């Protein structure tokens, strides 16, 4: 897979619900990123967000069912949309539209376009908790997930517009945007389907006492991007994480591990059931040789700090690996990154090493973008220029799929 050279044409179907206002941020973000965006506004959605608002953001007229039945169109509108759009987002997805999609009904412009197209469809439901929990709604949701072209972002838990607290909030717009970016890269393919990926992220803290520790500036952004990309490609993901600067993506099983010892224990527990281990966490190399209970008074702080070496988790995982398991390591380096990365690749018994230069502007810890040198155990190498970390994650998985399977 490669990223598309032509900007995607996104068609947004806006359902009738208070969450409709959130779709404005999605449209605005993708238009600014160079995407072409069209929108279909349902009759009920127009009560929550106006056609003028969406047409201004899309830079083109918003479509409604009135346009669907217009007699002067040169071609059937739903056919035209199905042939020109490359991605379809339906958000908020209402219980009514969910039922129509599950049963293949086509009585509106939106549902007719769905049936006339083969494009990937991302859906993000939003509704009252009792509505969401109805057995019929859940059955329709399960039906939709069985169809490969549908990519489903489940609602989240929180306070709803009706003041109740529970499941039903539409997924955050940042998650919707990230999923759209993934679909633009993968074209909806789920090439990691059936695989269980164990991914680590974030930095560890090695405590001297209750409040002081040895740490690093890792924020977990790269590991989170890898987890997000893997889920979008169909994988089952377990994320063992240290300190993170962002929430864990939906549909990811998360295990928190603040210290290297905790992270090691979690990894070794999950690893026997995983297919790939992607070690993106910035695990400490050393810890204080002595850990003190409580907070040491400043006057009692040691003037010299004896250190103990932390065992290498990847090396431990490699020693007990099964034939089908694959190991991918990450190396944060400065200067000439290749020699040290190649040495680590061989010494740790890895299949793939991803090296990045943390001393380069705009790359490394805490940044939104990254660049990398990917090295294979068979001697192959590939340089990835600076790009958003989510897209970099997809390129890494592209190479892993090509080189390791």
3-state helix/strand/coil string of 341-352: HHHHHHHHCCCE
Cα–Cα dist 230/141, whole Å:
22
What residues contact 291, with CB distance under 8 A and at least 6 apart? Answer: 207, 208, 209
Q: Where are the beta strands (DSSP E) in 131-174?
A: 150-152, 156-159, 165-169
The residue written with tokens 């006339």 in the block is 116
Q: DSSP state, 282?
A: B
Cα separation, 119 vs 141, whole angstroms:
19
| Contact (CB, 8 A) for 4 and 147 | no
* In contact, 30 and 71? CB cutoff 8 Å: no
Report the relative pairing of strands 286-288 and 276-279 from DSSP bridges.
unpaired
Q: Within 13 Å, how many C-alpha atoms sit on residue 177's CB side?
A: 17
Q: How far is the C-alpha of 39 from the C-alpha of 20, rounded, in Å?
A: 12
Distance from C-alpha of 197 to C-alpha of 194, rounded to nearest angstrom:
10
- The catalytic position among 24, 58, 152, 162 is 162
Residue 162 designated active-site: yes
Phi-psi group of 60: left, alpha or beta (phi > 0 → left; psi -120 to 50 → alpha; rest → beta): beta
Are the C-beta atoms of residues 54 and 46 closer than 8 Å to each other? no
3-class DSSP state of 367: coil
Phi, psi of 319 (to 5 degrees): -65, -30
Cα gap 89→10, rounded to integer Å: 7
Structure tokens at 201: 């992220």
Backbone angles phi and psi of 264, in degrees to 5 = -60, -45
Known binding-site residues for CTP equal: 285, 295, 311-314, 330, 344, 348
Q: How far is CA 306 from the centre of its chain?
A: 40
Residues with catalytic annotation?
A: 162
């Amino acid at each position: 897979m490669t990223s598309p050279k032509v900007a995607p044409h996104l068609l947004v179907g806006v359902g009738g619900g208070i969450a409709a206002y959130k779709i404005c941020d999605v449209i605005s973000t993708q238009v600014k990123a160079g995407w072409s965006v069209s929108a279909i506004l349902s009759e009920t959605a127009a009560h929550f967000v106006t056609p003028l608002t969406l047409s201004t953001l899309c830079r083109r007229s918003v479509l409604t069912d009135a346009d669907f039945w217009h007699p002067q169109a040169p071609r059937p509108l739903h056919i035209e949309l199905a042939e020109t759009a490359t991605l379809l987002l339906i958000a908020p997805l209402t219980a009514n539209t969910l039922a129509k999609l599950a049963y293949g009904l086509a009585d509106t412009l939106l549902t007719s376009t769905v049936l006339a197209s083969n494009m990937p469809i991302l859906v993000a439901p939003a509704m009252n908790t009792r509505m969401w929990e109805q057995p019929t709604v859940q059955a329709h949701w399960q039906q939709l997930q069985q169809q490969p072209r549908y990519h489903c972002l489940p609602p989240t838990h929180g306070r709803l517009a009706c003041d109740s607290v529970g499941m039903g909030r539409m997924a955050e717009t940042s998650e919707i945007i990230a999923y759209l970016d993934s679909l633009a890269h993968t074209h909806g393919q789920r090439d990691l389907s059936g695989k269980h990926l164990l991914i680590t992220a974030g930095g560890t803290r090695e405590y001297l006492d209750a409040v002081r520790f040895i740490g690093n500036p890792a924020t977990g952004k790269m590991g989170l991007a890898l987890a997000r990309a893997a889920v979008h490609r169909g994988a089952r993901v377990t994320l063992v994480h240290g300190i993170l600067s962002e929430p864990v993506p939906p549909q990811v099983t998360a295990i928190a591990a603040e210290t290297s010892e905790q992270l090691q224990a979690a990894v070794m527990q999950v690893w026997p059931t995983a297919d790939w281990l992607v070690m993106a966490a910035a695990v400490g190399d050393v810890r204080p040789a002595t850990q003190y209970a409580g907070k040491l008074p400043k006057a009692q702080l040691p003037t010299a700090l004896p250190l103990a070496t932390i065992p290498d988790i990847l090396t431990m995982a490699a020693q007990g690996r099964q034939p089908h398991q694959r190991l991918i390591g990450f190396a944060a380096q400065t200067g000439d990154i290749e020699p040290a990365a190649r040495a680590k690749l061989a010494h740790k018994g890895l299949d793939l090493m991803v090296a990045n230069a943390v001393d380069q502007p705009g790359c490394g810890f805490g940044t939104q973008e990254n660049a990398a040198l990917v090295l294979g155990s068979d001697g192959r190498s590939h340089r990835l220029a600076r790009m958003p970390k989510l897209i970099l994650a997809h390129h890494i998985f592209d190479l892993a799929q090509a080189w390791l399977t």
